[in-house]
Amino acid sequence: MRMGITGYEPSFLFGIDEVRQAHGARLAALAGRRLTGFAVVRFVEDGSWYADCPVVLDFEGVRVEISHHDLNSFWMGWGEIDTTAALANWEWFELTPAWSDRDDRLAPFVGRELSEAALLEWCPPAESRDMARGTVAVEFRFGDDYLRIMNGLDENHVELGPAAPEHVRYHLQLSE
């Protein structure tokens, strides 16, 4: 158990090729499903999002769990995390983390059908000294609207709207 999350035993992947090989086909298979719910970890006392914990999305019973760590570590799980279990071993911390189904960025997508899932790789210009080069994001397209779970340099970051031009999009197929 990591971060007190039941079922969260990450084995991190590095780079677009590893992520695409491990999860591309399953992500592609989500197309046509509706997002029926989600879970993020928030602190009970102030409601702030704890971005170090995985983001869990439920597509009509198929749950995908996404987490970024360090500058280039990526983990994705499929129905492994128990969001009904309390987070354990946080007695030492001044705030209490708990699973929540509240998030203003994610809530508008609930009930909508997923058009496509894609993987994105951050590829800034070659002369750039961007530390995020090569990080992997997962993009979910709902019609003309986009939701990305990406690396926020050692934590998860949620981004909406069209991707920046520095992102290279890898369209996924059922037979990755």
Tokens of 116: 């496509």
In the chain, which ranges are continuous DSSP H helix?
A: 16-28
DSSP H or E segment with residue 159: strand 156-160
> C-alpha angle with apex 56: 74 to 50, nearest 5 degrees?
75
60's CB contacts (< 8 A; 6+ apart) are: 33, 34, 36
User: pLDDT digit string (tens) for 120-148?
Assistant: 999 888 777 777 778 899 999 999 999 99
Q: What 8-state DSSP symbol labels residue 32?
A: T
Q: Are 87 and 3 in contact (CB under 8 A)?
A: yes
pLDDT band at 175 (very low <50, low <70, confident <90, very high): low
Q: What's the pLDDT score for residue 1? A: 52
Phi then psi for 25, rounded to 5 degrees? Answer: -65, -40
**Mean of all residue pLDDT scores within the chain:** 93
111 neighbors 102 (Cβ within 8 angstroms): no
* The model's pTM: 0.94
Average of pLDDT values for 96-110? 97
Burial class (CB in 10 A: 0-12, 13-18, 19+), 44: exposed
